[in-house]
A = this chain, B = another copy of it.
Amino acid sequence: MGESDVGIPGTVSGTQHSVKRNCKMNIDEFKKFAGASIDYIADYCENIRDVAVLPNVEPGYLSQQLPKRAPEQPEHWTKLMTDLDESIKPGLTHWHSPYFHAYFPTAQSYPAIIGELFMAGIGAVGTDWESSPAIVELEVRVMDWLAKILGLPEEFLNCSDGPGGGVIQNAASDSTLVGLLSASDKKIKQLKRLDPRTTKSEIRGKLVAYTSKESNSSVEKSGLIASVKMRLLPTDSEGSLRGRALNEAVSKDLAEGLIPFCVVASLGTTGTCAMDNVEELGEICLKQGMWLHVDAAYAGTALACPEYRYLLKGIEYVDSFNFNPHKWMLVNGDCSAMWFRNCKYVEEAFEKKSTLSQSVVPEIERWQIPNVRRFRALKLWFVIRIYGVDGIQKHVRHHVSLAKHFEALVNADERFEVVISSLGVVCFKLLRDEALTQVILEKIAKRKNIFIMPYYYKSQLLFRFVVCSRFTQYEDIDKSWQEILSQTDEVLSKKGEMCKEVDNICPFGRF
């Protein structure tokens, strides 16, 4: 008996219930709808290279097509499929097009799609273990798998004897915020113990965290939310935050009576995928009693390959670490993996008392902001098993190899120079005529054949090219490069004329 049978009249205590049929979709219709949807998605993915990566619509396009009010009566799913195809799809930017080279990759894969389907179909949520044991236990286990795939030290694992552990957060912004809140709570409690007369808000008013100017804008936002100062420090010539810059800032703040308490280091900055020097920063953190959080949102996936493990140098100083499988590890969002060296601090930041090690299964619900968790571990489990560690490594190496291929193409043209190339990100510039960069980018954007963004870095306007789609092949990279070349040729050939258009260069910066 399904939902469609609800409301069969019954009488209790003299109450007559009226017949209420509240289901507008029975199981057969669901299966038809689902089948058609699977076919649609399969076609969408397999033919994604044939669609222009950027949509050809103006702001407000959709509101002209959609009714202003919800329908009173149920509509048939076939009508939705039509609208999806005719109204929604034309307004989509296709993040999985091989010609999408903007932002960072956002993961999508067939195993992850099915993982999400099961998550939705089972529709269970987990708070503590009792609310749904499988949800909690699978997350605990796959987070250990993941830590081992990345080569994180034993002490971060859920299965280790110590107080460390890992949990899935929504996004890197949550992970950074949770790290920052743990750090500030730890420092405030330490100082309160030393001097019980000071108030929490007096201490908080003096707390200072540090990150680089190149870190993701969500790090700065985390500082706002956690009500602490967040200093954006200068980076070295490679875009890396180094010990020296941190030392100077910390000394200055200490001299002013402020309290340095946390560093948020980036492994893979948002603009150029630069790597902060975790070891140098870590030594200072240890000395000054500061928490070290590492945000490896994009680059973390590369750690699946042993040749990138050198990035973990200094991990012994790290208090919390996150990366987003939903960026580069083929796992659909939301899925930000976060580990703590000592979970006591996050538990204490959110509650009065840590209960670490009182239960067989760690109470991972105490390591996050929301009360509940969805069954996100499923999609991690599906992806890791269906690709295997080997498949994930191949995916990473393939993307890096595509980026190297692109880098070689750029360097083979004497008008351009690669400024920074790191993993799947290649930032390059016009050697002369830098002022025309934006004109070229605008022309490329108008043609909608590829999606590439500018990045304003150390007083230079760069082309920022990222290998994003799992469908990308060498031929696609060649085509994207041809598109950049053709527009460059055109703009440079009409240089005098074009320069008039370059009055207004926007200062693209951190995003």
Contact = CB atoms under 8 A, between A and B. Distances in A.
A145 B20 contact: no
Interface stretch (A235-243, A281-289, A380-388, A499-507): A380-388
B106 A75 contact: no
Interface stretch (A217-225, A271-279, A436-444): A217-225
A446 B364 CA distance: 24
A405 B12 contact: yes
A385 B74 CA distance: 6
A457 interface: no
B111 A77 contact: yes
Contacts of A77: 111, 114, 386
Interface string A213-254: 000111001001111000000000000000000000000000
B61 A137 contact: yes
Contacts of A87: 134
A456 interface: no
Contacts of A221: 350, 369
A31 to B, nearest CB: 6
B140 A84 contact: no
Nearest to A326: B125
A86 B1 CA distance: 24
A506 to B, nearest CB: 13
A443 to B, nearest CB: 16
Contacts of A66: 138, 141
A24 B386 contact: yes
Contacts of A409: 12-13
A347 interface: no
A473 B117 contact: no
Interface stretch (A42-50, A458-466, A484-492): A42-50
Interface stretch (A52-60, A309-317, A422-430): A52-60
A493 interface: no
Contact of A386 (B25, B62, B140, B378): B25
A312 to B, nearest CB: 18
Given A390-B74, A473-B1, A123 B95 contact: yes
Interface stretch (A2-10, A189-197, A260-268, A337-345): A2-10
A244 to B, nearest CB: 29
B25 A110 contact: yes
Contacts of A29: 110
How many copies the complex holds: the figure is 2
A159 B412 CA distance: 51
Given A25-B111, A173-B371, A91 B121 contact: no
B17 A401 contact: yes
Interface string A24-41: 110101110111011111
Contacts of A384: 70-71
A60 B390 contact: no
Contacts of A257: none
B204 A371 contact: no
Contact of A60 (B89, B93, B112, B360): B360
Contact of A361 (B60, B95, B146): B60
A378 B116 CA distance: 15
Contact of A117 (B37, B110, B129, B397): B37
A174 interface: yes
A132 B394 contact: no
A319 interface: no
A370 interface: yes
Question: Taking each of A31, A44, A121, A124, which has the highest tally of chain B beta carbons within 10 Å of its own beta carbon?
Answer: A121
A61 B148 contact: no
A6 B385 contact: no
Contacts of A17: 401, 405, 474
Contact of A173 (B49, B144, B370): B370
A120 to B, nearest CB: 4
A320 interface: no
A194 B319 CA distance: 41
Contact of A388 (B5, B73, B408): B73
Contacts of A46: 2, 27
A112 B120 contact: yes
B123 A106 contact: yes
Nearest to A102: B131
A317 B27 CA distance: 44
A471 B2 contact: yes
Interface string A159-201: 1000000000011011001000100000000000000000111
Contacts of A88: 134, 138, 378
9 contacts: A3-B470, A6-B472, A12-B474, A31-B39, A38-B117, A69-B145, A70-B388, A113-B120, A117-B117
